[in-house]
Amino acid sequence: MRILVSIDDTDDLESRGTGELASLIAADIETNGWGKSSFVTRHQLLVHPDIPYTSHNSAMCFAAEICADALDEVIAHASSFLARESAAGSDPGLCVAAVDGLAAPDEIMAFGRRAKESVITKEEAYAAARRLGVHLSEHGGTGQGVIGALAGAGLRLGGNDGRLKGAIPLGHPGGVISVADLSRREDVDAVRTLDGLPLDGNEMVRVGEKVKTVMLEGKAVLLVSAAAAADGPAWQTCPRQQLKRY
Amino acid sequence: MEQMEAGLPEFPSGTEDWLTAARVAALCAEFRPDVEEEQVADEAGSCYNCRYRRWSVDSITCCKRQRPG
C-alpha cells in the first residue's frame, strides 16, 4: 500500500531540521523491512503573525510503499521517533495517510492549499483527519504541528508543490549536460523550462551551483532557464533564488 | 540594512534583496547556514540562508537577539 508520511514543527534554532528527521523515518521504514521510501519534499505553508513557527513554517513529507500489515508499526515507530527526537520546546505533529484508503482525496489536497493561504486551527485539522480517515497525532508541546503535517500530506498528494530535499549531484558547476542524460538519472523524472515546457533530449544545459528539483505533476522536475551567456548551451539549471516560490 | 548591521533584528530590504543579504551575512559573526532544504539564496553566506533568520510576511527577522546569553 502507498502511504504518505508528513511531519512538522519538530525543530528549534539549534536542532536538526525537520527534513532530516523525515529522512531518518524514511530510512527506518526500509531498514525494518516495512517497505520502500521515496524522496522527501518540503512544503511552504503560510507565514502569518498568528501562526507559531520556528523560522520558516514548512512541512516535510515522503511517500512509501509498505506491506499493508506494517501500517500500525510504521505509525507507532514514527510517533515514538518524533516524541524522542524532536527538539525540546517544539510542537511536533505526524500525519500518515494511506493513499488508497482516503475517503476524500480532494479534501486533503484542498486542506494543503488552504494552509498556504489561511490560518487553520488544530481542531480543524483533527476534524478533517477524522473525515478523511488518516492518522494525525501530536508528540510534544502544543502539538500545533498537526496542522502542517496534514497540510504537507495534502500538498504532496496534489503533486504540484514543494522542493525536493537535497541537491542533485551533477559535478562541477560550469559543466554541460544534455537533457537526455539528465532525464536518465534516477533523481530526475523530467526536465522542464520555468514556463513548464518540456525540452528535446538533445538540448544542452549548463550546470549551476546546488541543483535542485521541484515537485510538479507528482514528478521530480529539474527546471531550467534560458542561459545568461550568449555563447554555449541555450539553457542553465535554475539558481536557488528562482526556486524559492516552489 | 543599517538596522540589521547595527544589531537590530529586522532586515528592512524585504525578502529578495540578495546582494544586501550576502553583504550583511559576510560581516556577521553569528551567521550559521541553515539546513540545505531551507536555503534559498545562491550565495552560501546570506542572511536568507542563516538558521537564525525567521521569515515574516514582508522580510526576515534576526533571532540572535532572542537567544539566551
Domain boundaries, chain B: 2-66
pLDDT at B7: 47
pLDDT at B8: 47
Domain boundaries, chain A: 2-163, 166-243
Asked whether A91 and A142 are in contact (CB, 8 A), the reply is yes
Mean pLDDT of A3-29: 96
Give the tens place of pLDDT for each residue, A96-145: 999 998 989 999 999 999 999 999 999 999 999 999 999 999 999 999 99
Q: How many CB atoms lie within 10 A of CB A117?
A: 10
pLDDT at A100: 94
Cα-based angle A134, A43, A78 (whole degrees, multiple of 5): 45
pLDDT at A54: 86
Average pLDDT of the residues of chain A? 96
Which of B39, B51, B55 is facing A240, going by the closest CB pair? Answer: B39
User: What would the grid cell of residue A9 be?
Assistant: 514543527
C-alpha closest to that of A90 among A20, A18, A24, A26: A18
Contact A244 B55 (CB under 8 A): no
Q: Which residues are A61's β-sheet partners?
A: A6, A41
Contact B56 A47 (CB under 8 A): yes
Q: Find chain B residues with C-beta within 8 A of A56's C-beta.
A: 38, 54-55
The band of B65, judged by pLDDT with boundaries at 50, 70 and 90, is low
Q: How far apart are CA A150 and CA A115, in angstroms?
A: 9
pLDDT at B3: 44
Who has greater pLDDT, B47 or B12?
A: B47
C-alpha closest to that of B61 among A53, A85, A162: A53
Please state, for a pLDDT cut of 70, what percent of chain A lies above it. Answer: 100
Asked whether A111 and A74 are in contact (CB, 8 A), the reply is no
Mean pLDDT of B44-58: 94
Looking at the predicted structure, is the pLDDT value of residue B6 above 80? Answer: no
Helices (H), chain A: 18-31, 71-85, 105-115, 122-132, 145-158, 179-184, 240-243
Cα distance from A240 to chain B (closest Cα, Å)? 5
C-alpha closest to that of A89 among A7, A12, A145, A20: A12
B52 at interface of A, judged by CB pairs closer than 8 A = yes
Mean pLDDT of A36-40: 98
Looking at the predicted structure, is the pLDDT value of residue B4 above 60? Answer: no
Least confident of A40-44, A45-49, A55-59, B9-13: B9-13
pLDDT at A171: 87
User: What would the grid cell of residue A83 be?
Assistant: 516524541
Q: Per CATH, which fold does A2-163 belong to?
A: Alpha-Beta Plaits (3.30.70)
Which of B37, B42, B53 is facing A241, going by the closest CB pair? Answer: B42
User: Considering Cα of A50, then A52, then A58, then A61, what sign does the dihedral take?
Assistant: negative
As to burial, measured by CB atoms within 10 angstroms (0-12 exposed, 13-18 middle, 19+ buried), residue A151 is buried
Looking at the predicted structure, is the pLDDT value of residue A231 above 90? Answer: no
pLDDT at B66: 53
